[in-house]
Amino acid sequence: MARDIGIDLGTANVLINVSGKGIVLNEPSVVAVNTESNKVVAVGSDAYEMVGRTPGNIRVIRPLKNGVIADFDITEAMLSYFIEKLNVKGFMAKPNILICAPTGVTSIEQKAIIQAAEKSGGGNVYLDFEPKVAAVGAGLDIFKPQGNLVIDIGGGTTDIAVLSMGEIVTSQSLRYAGDRMNQDIMNYIKNKHNLLIGSRTAEQIKIEIGSAYEPDPNETITVRGRDMVEGLPKQTTVSAVEVQEAMHDGLMSIVRTTKSVLESTPPELSADIIDRGIMLTGGGALLHGIDQLIAAELQVPVLTADHPLEAVALGTGTLLKNIQKHQRH
C-alpha cells in the first residue's frame, strides 16, 4: 500500500505531507548543479547554504520562478530527490500525489507540474490551487455554501481567492510576494546606503525588523555588505521604518488586488466575508503588521492561520483523504 503524498511546490520551499505521518519534509526549493558535469551536487537545505557562496563551476538554481516551473529538468530532479528521501514508495506501489499550484498557472504549466511529479515516481497525480488548499489547511470549511476569502502570500506569488462550496469563485494571482519583498529591500539599501547585500541578508532583515504597518522607529539592524563606491566590505544601520518604506509599494499592490477580487465577488459572498474576515496564509503572513495593514485598508477583519507556512501542506493532507470526491485530474 503506497502512502498518499501532498506536495506544496513553492518558489521558496517545498513541503511534503505524507498521509498518516503529517509534514515530513520542509526544505528550500534550491538545487546546486556542477556546470561542468551537469550533475546535481546538493538539493534543499544543503544547496541553500551555498547561495551566494559558490565557486564558478557550481550554480545554485531555484527551479521555480513566481510559482511556476522555470527549469523543468531541475524541478524533476529536485522532486525525485525529495520523494526518494522520504522512502514512501513501497514495493511496486505508486503513491497518489496531490500538488498545489498558484491560481495563475497556464494549462501548459499545469501539465509540466503533473509530468514532473509523474516522472519522479507518482501514480495518480492531481493538481489543485494553492489558495483553496491553504484555506483547508488553515481550518476553513470551504465546502459549505458560504464565502471565504484567502490571501496566500508565498515566495513567488500572492494568490487571492474567494471560495465557496469547495471551489474558487473569483481569484487573482500577483507576482509580488516574499522574494520581491527581499528584492525591494536590496534595491533600497543599494540606492540609499550605497551598499550591496545578497538576498539572504535581505530576507534576514525582513524577518528581524520588517513591518508592514506602523513600524517601531527605534528598531534597527546592523547590515553588512559591499560598499558600492570603494568595493570593500562595509556595515551600516538600517531602521524598521526604512524597511517598511522599501516594501510599501509592493504591499499596497496586494491590498489593491484584494480590493479588485472583492469587487468582483457576488454580494451574498461579500456579506459572508465581512462576517468571517480574511484569512492570511503563506510565509508572507508572518510579516509583522501585514494583517493590520490589510484590515485598515479594506475595513474587514483579518486573521492569520495558526501555521501559515504549513497551511498548503496541511491542506493537501485533508484533501487527499477525499481525493476522489473533490478532485479534477
Mind giving me the DSSP string for 95-121? --EEEEE-TT--HHHHHHHHHHHHHTT
Nearest to 232 by CA among 186, 206, 194: 194
Mean pLDDT of the region 111-131: 84
Q: Are strands 31-34 and 58-61 parallel, antiparallel or unpaired?
A: antiparallel
* Residue 203 assigned ligand-binding role: yes
pLDDT at 91 over 70: no
* Residue 32 assigned ligand-binding role: no
Query: What pLDDT is stored for residue 326 in this prediction?
Result: 47
* Residue 11 assigned ligand-binding role: yes
* Residue 114 assigned ligand-binding role: no
**How many residues in the chain?**
329
pLDDT-derived band at 328, boundaries 50, 70, 90: very low
- Residue scoring higher pLDDT (262 or 326): 262
Query: What pLDDT is stored for residue 2 in this prediction?
Result: 58
Over residues 145-178, the pLDDT tens digits come to 999 999 999 998 999 999 999 999 999 999 999 9
Query: What pLDDT is stored for residue 103 in this prediction?
Result: 79
Count CA atoms within 13 Å of residue 88 on its CB side: 27
**Average pLDDT of the chain to the nearest whole number:** 89
Q: Show the domains of the chain with their CATH numbers.
A: 5-132+311-326 (3.30.420.40), 140-304 (3.30.420.40)
Query: What pLDDT is stored for residue 188 in this prediction?
Result: 97
* Residue 220 assigned ligand-binding role: no
* Residue 283 assigned ligand-binding role: yes
pLDDT-derived band at 89, boundaries 50, 70, 90: low
CB 148 within 8 A of CB 176: no
pLDDT-derived band at 251, boundaries 50, 70, 90: very high
* Residue 285 assigned ligand-binding role: yes
Mean pLDDT of the region 272-276: 91
- Residue scoring higher pLDDT (198 or 95): 198
* Residue 204 assigned ligand-binding role: yes
* Residue 327 assigned ligand-binding role: no
Instruction: Mention every residue, 6+ apart, whose C-beta is less than 8 A from residue 200.
Output: 51, 52
* Residue 166 assigned ligand-binding role: no
* Residue 205 assigned ligand-binding role: yes
pLDDT at 217 over 80: yes
CB 248 within 8 A of CB 240: no
CB 225 within 8 A of CB 195: yes
pLDDT-derived band at 90, boundaries 50, 70, 90: low
pLDDT-derived band at 70, boundaries 50, 70, 90: confident
Instruction: Region of 301 please: left (phi>0), alpha (psi -120 to 50) or beta.
Output: beta
* Residue 156 assigned ligand-binding role: yes
Q: Which of 64-78, 90-104, 125-139 has the lowest mean pLDDT?
A: 90-104
* Residue 304 assigned ligand-binding role: no
Instruction: Mention every residue, 6+ apart, whose C-beta is less than 8 A from residue 173.
Output: 67, 102, 103, 104, 157, 158, 159, 160
Mean pLDDT of the region 74-81: 87
* Residue 70 assigned ligand-binding role: no
Q: Which of 119-123, 131-135, 197-201, 221-225 has the lowest mean pLDDT?
A: 119-123
Instruction: Region of 165 please: left (phi>0), alpha (psi -120 to 50) or beta.
Output: left
Mean pLDDT of the region 35-60: 88
The fraction of the chain above a pLDDT of 70, given in percent, is 95
